[in-house]
Amino acid sequence: MASLRNAAIAFIASLPCRALASNIIDNNASPPNLSTVFNNSIFYTWRPRSHVLPPSGQIGDPCMHYTDPTTGLFHIGYLHNGAAGAKTSDLITWTDVAEDPTFIRAGGINDPVAVFDGSVIPYGINGTPTLLYTSVSYLPIQWTVPYTKGSETQSLAVTYDGGANFTKLEEGPVIPGPPFPVTNVTGFRDPYVFQSPQLDAAAISPEGTWYSVISGGIHGQGPSQFLFRQYDADFRDWEYLGEWWREEANSSWGDGTWAGRWGFNFEVGNVFALDTEGYNAEGEVFTTLGAEWSEVPIIPQVSQFREMLWAAGNITTSSNGSVHFDPTMAGKLDWGQWAYAAAGKLLPANSSTSTSSGTANDRFISYLWLTNNNFGTSAFPTMPQGWNSVLTTTRELAQGTIGNVIDNELVNETASWRVGSRDTATRTVELITLRQTIAREIRAAFVSNATRTFSQSGRSVSNSTSSYSNSNASSLAFQQSPISKFFMMTASIAFSSSARGSGDLKAGFKILGSEYESTAIYYQFSNESLIVDRSNSSAAALTTPGLLANNEAGRLRLFDIANGSNSSSIETLNLTIVVDNSVVEIFANDRFVLSTWIWSWYDESTQISFYHEGSGDVSFGNVTVYEGLVDAWPERVY
Amino acid sequence: MASLRNAAIAFIASLPCRALASNIIDNNASPPNLSTVFNNSIFYTWRPRSHVLPPSGQIGDPCMHYTDPTTGLFHIGYLHNGAAGAKTSDLITWTDVAEDPTFIRAGGINDPVAVFDGSVIPYGINGTPTLLYTSVSYLPIQWTVPYTKGSETQSLAVTYDGGANFTKLEEGPVIPGPPFPVTNVTGFRDPYVFQSPQLDAAAISPEGTWYSVISGGIHGQGPSQFLFRQYDADFRDWEYLGEWWREEANSSWGDGTWAGRWGFNFEVGNVFALDTEGYNAEGEVFTTLGAEWSEVPIIPQVSQFREMLWAAGNITTSSNGSVHFDPTMAGKLDWGQWAYAAAGKLLPANSSTSTSSGTANDRFISYLWLTNNNFGTSAFPTMPQGWNSVLTTTRELAQGTIGNVIDNELVNETASWRVGSRDTATRTVELITLRQTIAREIRAAFVSNATRTFSQSGRSVSNSTSSYSNSNASSLAFQQSPISKFFMMTASIAFSSSARGSGDLKAGFKILGSEYESTAIYYQFSNESLIVDRSNSSAAALTTPGLLANNEAGRLRLFDIANGSNSSSIETLNLTIVVDNSVVEIFANDRFVLSTWIWSWYDESTQISFYHEGSGDVSFGNVTVYEGLVDAWPERVY
């Protein structure tokens, strides 16, 4: 990392007209108030290496991904001065689509004010990648205020230069608004195009028809996905098929434990179908979606909460011919409170990354936006940092299965899983859920590319009673820790059956630690939660407003798994933690993800420890650290 | 007129930086090529006194009229750098709504390219005059080329300052386009708002609901009026009720004799209801409309012909609840080929002009655009003239009746009249048609305001055989003629029954005559036409391109009228001719209008003559000339 640090210093030194002396940040000394330092002076302090973000400045929602039909390269898109993009042949390293990666900007006739999220038909108009996006004419737009009619319309743009630019069609919006009598919407944006033989059958459409869901809702009714169907070969007209999915305003899936609230407005809805291998148009229909809500009283122009959800369900047809999406399970796509606006895309088996990695099946990969400044509401020093927010590591989504699960009360809930099959003889079930894993190429690269790889021997702990907050007795440092803040760590934690009755058991790891800072990541049985304790994560949080220090938490149920005749044990917790400087992503059991920021300050804050508290037997194992990650942007000049 | 001429010279002399010597136009000498003279140097040559036109520059379609609910003044609107307007308390004199009379301009979010026609709800949003107009985002727009989706949308603007400005609402178009599946339109513009208890009943709407027809058509199908219904108190949403009227592409009413072709695209449709007194919401439903067409092969971006039509009909409701307009008669609102784009409005009995003139009933008044340069296709010297086009004299529209008409073959036709009642005893019918007359206030003012009024004794002529083209034997100059080109003339021409069999009978008047120029206006029995022979109208036409010299013609049937037991005579032709310098409007029998331009050059070309040719007995009578007209713009400074 010395070279990176040196490069950073060189970069800062190259900036004109600045009093540089006071701007060389020393991460071995206590931090200043970072709001007061010059722009870009902490550019490298927390910048990740392996993640997608623009060369500088702000990144917003991911969107507009596609596999270029002529090159086979996968193109990722994201909001950035409009929308910008990068391309990859392996999902590991990226090339900006141009020196200025922005490929579409606001300011046209349809979008005088802004460009919002969209999605791409790879073989679109004249066989060329064709973008359907939200063209914005009036602001403000939010579910908390009356809707300005026509503020969000859906327009087309086409690329003629391999994705460096998308040229807007010289015509009005192809979807100028929700058709009458849908008038008082809470939102009407983020068109997501997809094909679905299941919808073709349900809605009696020609084979290969393109659909678009537009996310939003109706004031006084609830959030919904508006469904449209392609009408002509050039995507100029779209037939409204109705709200194929609507939830009651501010209702929840079950009691809200597993998927939070549906809120008042949906955003960024994706629709796709999965089998256990990945994308399969004939598979189970999934959707990912953002939900917006506030506690009462609702304050205009303040959306307090955003939830990044997924749901799976059935497509049904009413007697009047209208099609509906009926959820059978729903969950959190990410439990991190700053992880939002997921955008995924079919990655076909014939894409260059799949052919290089020997992946024979179609996949569905997805990215979330991880906001640096709490959706623009915190005082995070974005200008001193010179960049703002990031996309999460590429994930593969698939239909997940959990086998040999004891058919007890833990199984039967309105939850983020459903019972796929039930074996009354063995009294076990197979559960179906959403599987989420780091894209295989990336995970492989993190392993193979590691500059240091080391294992930590396991550890079994019983009935620790010391308090985490008052001493370190509950933690035990690894024999070896990373020397940088760039690594992937895998580990498993097995709990004895007694753990389920424990009221105070916590078990996990502390990372990014030193005598000044550390972050505990642990599973807490009493509320089936995986918690990230960020209260001591950052010395800079003490000096700098906007470095929020609140905890993160997500819910994960560890089922009872049959392991022989009439015997069972608690499902092992399998963790993969990616630490890419300040970006920390926790993957658990291929079905739980929590992405967050850890703004550790000191260079020396790289230690890892076991962490255990409360009563209950815990066994840590399979601990491996792969240090280094990859440089996702080898062609960028800094 | 000397003072006007002097004022003109003074005006021209006041213009800066011009070589004035060569620009004093002498209308006593032969004309130069007027295309070559300086801008504005023939500003007064053909400028009318009594008509509506802006202070300078171009006028387009009339539209956006209303009676101001707070002042009772009638506001006229017209396209002019956007749209501009003037107000009146008497329909005779006008005041521009502001020094710059433009009250709405293109360039907003909804109308970056242009503002097209609209109409006003007098008690609109918050009780304020509210304009629904066509906001234009993309050009070109014409029925001869594929439609650019979203090029024409309908938006709202409100006046807060008594009509000097209309402020656009900060929201998208309230009608963003024709709803799916109406996609491939030939046009979608000129929203005309109206109320109709008859439509309320047919469409099951609340009392007082506002409707809007939007004119256009569908490629491959035909021209139509799209009908919308107000959905909310603020006119933000409009419910589409379908094409309430569609005609087959390029079809005609009957054989086309009386109303020309429906063409391929409708424009400027108005909908209103009339009784014999004027406007009556419960009366017979009428529409005025423009129809566009070309001869095959249709050349892209060339609409060869425009027809300004009217139709009356019944409102019916289909079994599926959709409402329809079914014409029972149709005709030409004006036979002048340059008279187009009529826009009318209810003039309520409580408007200031009606209360001043003692008019107790609601009226419907209408204006047409009279284009100077053949819809922009001729080389008329508009820049030397400094203004371009005019609106026609205010007309009152009402249900017209023709009584005691012999029930013979002349009556039974698909025509611009219908049989209202039939008396089998007397073998007569009462015909119903559209009545069109000069607004009563204006006609009265032309009479009372005349600086010279003189009558010409009548004349009976038999079997003249001399040729008009070879000699003047067929014409006889009036004993007295106007000394200016500003007058109204009334006259009647009675034909003996033998006239109907004559193959060559022509009878009428020559006006604007001198040894160099004159214009014959005559009725020709062989084809039941009223013809304006413009071949010798203008000496300037010989020197200047764009002063078209083609004839104008309109069709007028003179019925057989019962005048005693078993006796009948041909209906007398009653003419009113308004000559306002170059603007000539011919009104016949309260049901025929032909408006045109006569660009007579010489000051001395003011003579009137009787004109008669061919075989047939003709009796001229009731000839009176009211010279002077009125100055419609007393507050303008030139």
Please indicate if any CB of chain B lies within 8 Å of the CB of A237.
Answer: yes
% of chain B with per-residue pLDDT over 90: 90
| Distance separating alpha carbons of residues B387 and B368, to the nearest angstrom | 17
DSSP state of B68: -
Q: What is the amino acid identity at position A187? A: G
Q: CA A17, A22, A24 angle in degrees (round to 5)?
A: 95
Structure tokens that stand for A278 in this block: 């990945």
Per residue in B346-388, pLDDT (tens digit) is 999 999 999 999 999 999 999 999 999 999 999 999 999 999 9
Residue B21 has what pLDDT? 38
Q: How confident is the model at residue A503 (pLDDT cuts 50, 70, 90)?
A: confident
All residues of chain B having their beta carbon less than 8 Å from the beta carbon of residue A179 are 179-180
Please indicate if any CB of chain B lies within 8 Å of the CB of A139.
Answer: no
Residue B12 phi/psi, 5° resolution?
-65, -40
pLDDT exceeds cutoff 50 at B472: no
What value does the mean pLDDT take over residues B562-587? 95
Residue B147 has what pLDDT? 97
Q: How confident is the model at residue A475 (pLDDT cuts 50, 70, 90)?
A: confident
What value does the mean pLDDT take over residues A135-139? 97
What value does the mean pLDDT take over residues A448-460? 94
Please indicate if any CB of chain B lies within 8 Å of the CB of A146.
Answer: no
| Residue B249 Cα, gap to closest chain A Cα (Å) | 23
Q: What is the amino acid identity at position A403? A: G
pLDDT exceeds cutoff 60 at B473: no
Nearest by CB to residue A180, choosing from B112, B138, B239, is: B239
Phi-psi region of A61 (alpha: psi -120 to 50; beta: other; left: phi over 0): beta
User: ω into residue A140 within 30 of 0, thus cis?
Assistant: yes
What value does the mean pLDDT take over residues B18-31? 68
Q: Which residue of A has its CA nearest to B113?
A: A109
Residue matched to tokens 């993190």: A446
**Cβ pair A490, A446 in contact under 8 A:** no
| Residue B151 Cα, gap to closest chain A Cα (Å) | 6
All residues of chain B having their beta carbon less than 8 Å from the beta carbon of residue A181 are 231, 237, 239
Nearest by CB to residue B151, choosing from A149, A172, A237, is: A172
What value does the mean pLDDT take over residues B542-567? 94
Q: How confident is the model at residue B463 (pLDDT cuts 50, 70, 90)?
A: low
Residue B1 has what pLDDT? 41
Residue A568 has what pLDDT? 94
DSSP state of A113: S
Structure tokens that stand for B565 in this block: 């037991």
- Is B176 close to A179, i.e. CB distance below 8 A? no
pLDDT exceeds cutoff 60 at A12: no
**Cβ pair A304, A407 in contact under 8 A:** no
Please indicate if any CB of chain A lies within 8 Å of the CB of B150.
Answer: yes
The CB density around residue A18, as the number of other CB atoms within 10 Å, is 15
| Distance separating alpha carbons of residues B395 and B392, to the nearest angstrom | 8
Burial A391-401 (b: 16+ CB within 10 A, else e): bbbbbbbbbbb
Give the SS3 label for residue A163. coil
pLDDT exceeds cutoff 50 at B22: no
Please indicate if any CB of chain A lies within 8 Å of the CB of B182.
Answer: no
Q: What is the amino acid identity at position B389? A: S
Residue B307 has what pLDDT? 96
pLDDT exceeds cutoff 50 at A468: no
Indicate the length of chain A as a whole number. 638
For B122-184, the three-class secondary structure string (H helix, E strand, C coil) is CCCHHHCCEEEEEEECCCCCCCCCCCCCCCEEEEEEECCCCCCCCEECCCCCCECCCCCCCCC
pLDDT exceeds cutoff 80 at A386: yes
**Cβ pair A77, A132 in contact under 8 A:** no
Nearest by CB to residue B171, choosing from A113, A150, A176, is: A150
What value does the mean pLDDT take over residues B501-511? 93
Please indicate if any CB of chain B lies within 8 Å of the CB of A138.
Answer: yes
Per residue in B209-256, pLDDT (tens digit) is 999 999 999 999 999 999 999 999 999 999 999 999 999 999 999 999
Q: Which residue of A has its CA nearest to B151?
A: A172
Residue B470 has what pLDDT? 39
Give the SS3 label for residue A121. strand
pLDDT exceeds cutoff 50 at B329: yes
Please indicate if any CB of chain A lies within 8 Å of the CB of B140.
Answer: no
Nearest by CB to residue B240, choosing from A137, A180, A239, is: A180
Please indicate if any CB of chain A lies within 8 Å of the CB of B212.
Answer: no
Q: How confident is the model at residue B510 (pLDDT cuts 50, 70, 90)?
A: very high
- Is B149 close to A172, i.e. CB distance below 8 A? yes
Q: How confident is the model at residue A615 (pLDDT cuts 50, 70, 90)?
A: confident
Per residue in B121-147, pLDDT (tens digit) is 999 999 999 999 999 999 999 999 999
DSSP state of A21: G
CB half-sphere exposure, A593, CA atoms < 13 A: 30
DSSP state of A178: P
Residue B15 phi/psi, 5° resolution?
-70, 135
Please indicate if any CB of chain A lies within 8 Å of the CB of B107.
Answer: no
| Residue A301 Cα, gap to closest chain B Cα (Å) | 18
**What's the order of all strands across the beta sheet hosting A130-136?**
A114-121, A130-136, A152-158, A167-168
- Strands (DSSP E) contained in B563-615 are 568-570, 573-580, 583-588, 592-597, 607-613
User: Picking from A383-387, B25-29, B419-423, B440-444, which range would have the lowest pLDDT averaged per residue?
Assistant: B25-29
Phi-psi region of B374 (alpha: psi -120 to 50; beta: other; left: phi over 0): left
**Cβ pair B229, B203 in contact under 8 A:** yes
All residues of chain A having their beta carbon less than 8 Å from the beta carbon of residue B241 are none
For B17-44, the three-class secondary structure string (H helix, E strand, C coil) is CCCCHHHCCCCCCCCCCHHHCCCCCCCC
Question: Considering chain B, what is the average pLDDT of its residues?
Answer: 94
All residues of chain B having their beta carbon less than 8 Å from the beta carbon of residue A138 are 109, 170-172
Burial B91-120 (b: 16+ CB within 10 A, else e): bbbbbbbbeebbbbbbebbbbbebbbbbbb
Q: How confident is the model at residue B467 (pLDDT cuts 50, 70, 90)?
A: very low
Q: Which of A180, A183, A234, A236 to mutate to test the interface with B (most CBs of B within 10 A)?
A: A180
pLDDT exceeds cutoff 60 at A20: no
Per residue in A234-263, pLDDT (tens digit) is 999 999 999 999 999 999 999 999 999 999
- CA torsion, points A378, A382, A388, A393, in degrees to nearest 10? -80
Taking one residue from A and the other from B, the number of pairs with CB-CB distance under 8 angstroms is 91
Please indicate if any CB of chain A lies within 8 Å of the CB of B230.
Answer: no
Please indicate if any CB of chain B lies within 8 Å of the CB of A255.
Answer: no
Write down all domains in chain A, each with its CATH number in brackets: 2-36 (no CATH), 65-399 (2.115.10.20), 454-627 (2.60.120.560)
User: ω into residue B140 within 30 of 0, thus cis?
Assistant: yes
ipTM of the complex: 0.90
All residues of chain A having their beta carbon less than 8 Å from the beta carbon of residue B185 are none
User: Picking from A447-461, B18-32, B154-168, B276-290, which range would have the lowest pLDDT averaged per residue?
Assistant: B18-32
| Residue B147 Cα, gap to closest chain A Cα (Å) | 9
Q: Which residue of B has its CA nearest to A156?
A: B149
Question: Considering chain A, what is the average pLDDT of its residues?
Answer: 94
- DSSP string computed for A23-77: G---TTS----GGGSPTTTTTTTS--SSS---SSEE---B---EE-TTT--EEEE
Cβ partners under 8 Å of residue B501, min gap 6:
none
Residue A463 has what pLDDT? 63
| Residue A285 Cα, gap to closest chain B Cα (Å) | 28
Please indicate if any CB of chain B lies within 8 Å of the CB of A16.
Answer: no
| Distance separating alpha carbons of residues A458 and A467, to the nearest angstrom | 22
Give the SS3 label for residue A425. coil
Q: Which residue of B has its CA nearest to A170?
A: B138
| Distance separating alpha carbons of residues B301 and A325, to the nearest angstrom | 47
What value does the mean pLDDT take over residues A305-332? 97
Residue A382 phi/psi, 5° resolution?
-70, -35
| Distance separating alpha carbons of residues B397 and B403, to the nearest angstrom | 18
Nearest by CB to residue B137, choosing from A109, A231, A232, is: A109
| Residue B46 Cα, gap to closest chain A Cα (Å) | 41
Per residue in A544-596, pLDDT (tens digit) is 999 999 999 999 999 999 987 789 999 999 999 999 999 999 999 999 999 99
The CB density around residue A522, as the number of other CB atoms within 10 Å, is 23
The CB density around residue A635, as the number of other CB atoms within 10 Å, is 10
